[in-house]
Structure 1
Amino acid sequence: MSKLALISDVHGNLPALEAVLEELDKHVPDHWLCLGDVVGYGPFPSECIDLIRERNIPTVMGNHDAGVAGLLTIRHFKGPNKELISLTNELLNNDQLKWLEKLPYTLVNDDKSWLAVHANPLDPSKWEYVDSAIKARKMLGKIDQKLCFVGHTHIPGMVSDQIGVMEFKEGHKYLINPGSVGQSRDGDFRASCCIIDIEKWNVEMIRVAYPMEQVLTGLYKLGFSRAEAHQLLRY
């Protein structure tokens, strides 16, 4: 395996997912990973699940996936997203709900060189954010894998195990976050994803434009106000 495509935090945003998959296909990845939260926030959970499954993309469980599947109580969610979590459960069929329920918390490749998780590999079901270099380096020191792929923060980035090492190169351990497909939180509203060439030690963070109005319209059709829809999309 050389090229690895990373996506995360799709959040029921079908237009963004379709745009990202189309862009990543151009890189001809050997392997794909989805770092969880296929659902939540967005109006197209069923379509996103079907597309991820159709593409046979290995996926770990995110907190929104757990919430919709009934594995995390609704009190963990706030604002209009709390209503959307309940509504998403109604929009999915039993097969889709079972798929969410059975998602693993972590994935590790055969040679154990990388680990994939939605939030924090040290305790995946607590959904703690790895949102600083200090937290990332502390976590990297406690895992065996040289690469750890995480989502959850909706902000793309890479942190090495050593202060001052900014490049992706052999001999170090790295945390890599591809950002969010469906709800970016870094001021750039485009969908975010990542391509990693493990053999060449190259990481490319990619941004992809998509028709956001289609997502807002989908939320309006579900009964959300304009203000609520913009809040859900962080737009």
Structure 2
Amino acid sequence: MAHAVISCLHANLAAVEAVLSDIEQLGIDRITCLGDLVGYGPQPNEVVELIRARSIPTCQGCWDEDIIEGLNACECSYPSQLAERRGQQAHHWTAAQLSEENKEFLASLPFSLRRDRLLFVHGSPNSQHEYLLPDMDAFAALERVEAAEADTLFCGHTHRPYVRDLCEGSIRLRVRRSAASAPAGGKPLKERLAQAPPPTPTEQEVALPVRRIVNAGSVGEPRHGGTNATYVIHDEQTDLVEIREVPYDVERTCQAILATGLPPLFAWRLRHGFEYAERADDPGHVCER
């Protein structure tokens, strides 16, 4: 049975509608959402209400958490101080727009969802704010999946889709045996150990289990170099994963961003499919609250 995994909708109603239509045309009726229903985009209430109306199982994203907990919950990094100020503006605007009912829905979302050996999170099993990038150290990536007791970990947050198989790995262990062969007798233990032959180190190689990380990318704010919305389809029988790109009416969303008074740069970035538009302002800046 195939199921669809979507993430990072970011209040972009046109993109969400296009992706849900694509899923429906494929005949898939099981969908899991990895959060970030709001933030940056101009239709937070409409997107939340659409997910609620479809009863799509959803875990809480970092923007969903921050809207409920406030900006002090943020563990984000911004490429510049200007980018951080724009993020704050989007946060305050979104919080003011959302209905109390929709805020309660965001607050009720679980940190993760699990189905057998499949785990669904927004950022990582550790935090909604942790980025599992495709070039992350292989051992650290494997640790995230294995510690969560999953075979496949579905995540979002980076806005860049990928499938990473963690296989053909091993750990080489160097073991020193204890000095159990120390001579017996009435001598003190310290003296007996000193007379014992030095322990002989042995090496052992342990094969690591095959695990997988699947990033669903972003429906509402793609950052993979194009403007198409992205999501993934997982066939549970064959274990195959397909990354899908869906075109949508980008201009409709851009015009709505401008009409609401959100930073015009959000529309410009969305229209061009750029990951960052303000990296040159202060590339060393890290958001700290």
CA positional deviation for 1:145: 1.4
Kindly report which structure 2 residues correspond to 1:58-97, keeping only aligned pairs within 5 A, or say none. 58-73=57-72, 78-97=84-103
Whole-angstrom distance in 2 between the partners of 1:124 and 1:224: 28
Match for residue 157 of structure 1 among 154, 157, 162: 162
CA positional deviation for 1:70: 2.6
Whole-angstrom distance in 2 between the partners of 1:138 and 1:76: 21
Whole-angstrom distance in 2 between the partners of 1:228 and 1:157: 24
Deviations 1:109-135 (A, max 9, x none): 2xx2111100011x125x111113424
Whole-angstrom distance in 2 between the partners of 1:27 and 1:228: 31
Whole-angstrom distance in 1 between the partners of 2:267 and 2:69: 24
CA positional deviation for 1:71: 4.8
User: Structure 2: 5+ residue runs without aligned partners?
Assistant: 77-83, 170-208, 275-289
Kindly report which structure 2 residues correspond to 1:1-235, keeping only aligned pairs within 5 A, or say none. 2-73=1-72, 78-109=84-115, 112-121=116-125, 123-125=126-128, 127-131=129-133, 132-133=135-136, 134=138, 135-163=140-168, 172-231=210-269, 235=274
Whole-angstrom distance in 2 between the partners of 1:71 and 1:80: 16
Whole-angstrom distance in 2 between the partners of 1:102 and 1:71: 15
* TM-score with structure 2 setting the length: 0.72
Q: Which one is further off, 22-31 or 89-98?
A: 22-31
Whole-angstrom distance in 1 between the partners of 2:146 and 2:30: 26
- The count of aligned residue pairs is 224
3-state SS, counterpart of residue 89 of structure 1: helix
CA positional deviation for 1:232: 6.6
Deviations 1:61-98 (A, max 9, x none): 11111111235527656232211111111111111000
CA contact (8 A) 1:66 1:72 kept: no
State, as a whole percentage, how many aligned pairs show the same letter. Answer: 32
Deviations 1:194-226 (A, max 9, x none): 111111222111001111111111111111353
3-state SS, counterpart of residue 124 of structure 1: coil
CA contact (8 A) 1:160 1:174 kept: yes
- Kindly provide the amino acid, as one letter, of the partner of residue 132 in structure 2: V
Over 3 Å counting, the alpha-carbon distance change for 1:71 and 1:80 in structure 2 is closer
CA positional deviation for 1:31: 1.7
User: Structure 1: 5+ residue runs without aligned partners?
Assistant: 165-170
CA contact (8 A) 1:137 1:159 kept: no
Whole-angstrom distance in 2 between the partners of 1:79 and 1:208: 31
3-state SS, counterpart of residue 98 of structure 1: helix
Whole-angstrom distance in 2 between the partners of 1:24 and 1:232: 22
Over 3 Å counting, the alpha-carbon distance change for 1:84 and 1:225 in structure 2 is closer
Whole-angstrom distance in 1 between the partners of 2:24 and 2:100: 30
* TM-score with structure 1 setting the length: 0.88
Whole-angstrom distance in 2 between the partners of 1:84 and 1:196: 33
CA RMSD of aligned residues (A): 2.1
Larger radius of gyration: 2
Deviations 1:33-62 (A, max 9, x none): 000100001001100001111111000111
3-state SS, counterpart of residue 167 of structure 2: coil
CA contact (8 A) 1:81 1:232 kept: no
Whole-angstrom distance in 1 between the partners of 2:261 and 2:237: 48
Q: Which one is further off, 197-206 or 64-73?
A: 64-73
Whole-angstrom distance in 2 between the partners of 1:212 and 1:84: 19
CA contact (8 A) 1:7 1:35 kept: yes
Q: Which one is further off, 75-84 or 52-61?
A: 75-84
